[in-house]
Amino acid sequence: MARSTGTVGAVENRRVRGERPLRVAVVNWRDPWQRAAGGAELYAWQISEQLRLRGAHVTFVTSREPGQARRERRSGIEIVRMGGVYSRYPLVLAWLSRHRRSFDVAIDCMNGVPFLSPLALARTTKIILLVHHVHDEQFFVYFGRFLATIGRFLEGPVARRLYRRHPTVAVSPSTARELRGRLGWRGPVYIVPNGAPPPAHLPEAVTDGSPSIVCVGRLVAHKRIESLVDMAARLREDLPGVRLHIVGRGEQHETLAARIRDRGLTEHVVLHGFLPEHAKNELLAGADLHISASRYEGWGLSVIEAAALGVPTVAYDVNGLRDAIRDGETGWLALPGEDLADTVRRALKELDSRRSQISAACTTWAATFTWESSGERMHRLIQDDLDAF
């Protein structure tokens, strides 16, 4: 982008005049190399890289898994790790307090629970709250009533008051609406979407003529992968050659493997686990459909990654996914009570008659989202240049 080049040049010119680079802290609950990492981690890291390319000195502050270095440097970004599932929040807050005057900007990523950075950082530090999606009732999926209630309180009243004077970034229109409608947000909310760079090499699709469906995502409760296993059982009744490929890792791997065996679906459902990017792309490129059964999403990064390969998605008509999918053009949205198996059957019939048209619409749609443009929007927000919004 021409404007990006100009921005980098402007930063370099300021350096020549003796000014130091912008110091940015990106605070996220995980880094992209942790076992439970997903789209939120990719987003935080890509934005970090985009800000670095625009001349900023970026520190990525996050939790630490066993075996990970406490500090390291990747792609010119300093990574600082501390704490586990619960301890990361107080430890990061204490670290920010010790370095309260070390940053000009902090991007505080609220994945349900905020890091409360305004309590620690200097008043002169510009703080941007980043929200992927509103958790609210989702806390009760993972925690008992006591902890879930605390989570809702931190995400709602506490965050609303603490960040009320700071700009908030949402990754989709759905998240922006949820912030205002469910959390009562009153301050400005800016949308900086996910990017999705096209794959370096578009694999040639290879198929045996049987329907092939791929699900890409973390194997966690709110993704509802188990319902897709049950869907495959229903689909094989009239589509005996159907194959469902599940790509991803997570806490539900063994439970899903047992469910597949118990339902007698080992010939129809393949649990791949983690796949390298090129292998994932090859599998997706050969699929008829990408699918999601999630009821909680801020966006749907895997949807756009599939679309970049010309593959449409079937999903429920829920927040985030309804932003990532253009219903009837780049995929199909099922109503929350609708059987996804019926939506898949309808999608496969439509693909029979207009596959090339749908594939072209998918790649065109995906091409409108890039990390470069998202990084430019975030950089403009940091500079209080709001023309891009």
pLDDT over 70 (residue 184): yes
The residue type found at 52 is R
The share of the chain scoring above pLDDT 90, in percent, equals 71
**Pair (170, 298) in one structural domain:** no
Average pLDDT value over all residues in the chain: 89
Within a domain: 300: yes
Within a domain: 186: yes
**Pair (356, 376) in one structural domain:** no
pLDDT value at position 3?
A: 34
| Residue of 314, 336, 335, 337 lying closest to 325 (CA atoms) | 314
Mean per-residue pLDDT, 250-273 = 93
Mean per-residue pLDDT, 159-171 = 94
Dihedral angle computed from the Cα positions of residues 136, 159, 148 and 120, in that order, rounded to the nearest 10 degrees: 150
pLDDT value at position 25?
A: 97
The residue type found at 35 is R
Predicted confidence band of residue 18 (pLDDT cuts 50, 70, 90) = very low
**Pair (80, 166) in one structural domain:** yes
**Pair (375, 315) in one structural domain:** no
Over residues 302-361, the pLDDT tens digits come to 999 999 999 999 999 988 999 999 999 999 999 777 899 999 999 999 999 999 999 999
Over residues 208-231, the pLDDT tens digits come to 678 999 999 888 888 889 999 999
**Pair (229, 178) in one structural domain:** no
Mean per-residue pLDDT, 120-145 = 88
Rounded distance between C-alpha atoms, residue 193 and residue 370, angstroms? 9
pLDDT value at position 210?
A: 85
pLDDT value at position 7?
A: 37
pLDDT value at position 137?
A: 78
pLDDT value at position 333?
A: 95
**Pair (226, 352) in one structural domain:** yes
Over residues 24-58, the pLDDT tens digits come to 999 999 999 998 888 899 999 999 999 999 999 99
**Pair (143, 46) in one structural domain:** yes
**Pair (145, 224) in one structural domain:** no
pLDDT over 80 (residue 138): no
Range of the domain at 179: 2-195+370-388
Predicted confidence band of residue 12 (pLDDT cuts 50, 70, 90) = very low
Predicted confidence band of residue 267 (pLDDT cuts 50, 70, 90) = very high
pLDDT value at position 297?
A: 82
**Pair (110, 232) in one structural domain:** no
Within a domain: 258: yes
**Pair (299, 330) in one structural domain:** yes
**Pair (151, 42) in one structural domain:** yes
Dihedral angle computed from the Cα positions of residues 380, 383, 385 and 389, in that order, rounded to the nearest 10 degrees: 40
Spell out the alpha helix ranges (H) of the chain: 2-16, 39-53, 88-98, 139-142, 145-153, 159-162, 173-181, 225-235, 253-262, 277-285, 301-308, 321-324, 340-366, 371-382
| Residue 339 falls in which region: left (phi positive, over 0), alpha (psi -120 to 50) or beta | beta
Within a domain: 201: no
Return the CATH number at 131: 3.40.50.2000
Total structural domains in the chain?
A: 2
- Is the distance from CB of 114 to CB of 129 less than 8 angstroms? yes
**3-state SS, residue 368:** coil
Cα angle 9, 11, 14 (rounded to 5 degrees) comes to 110
Within a domain: 200: no
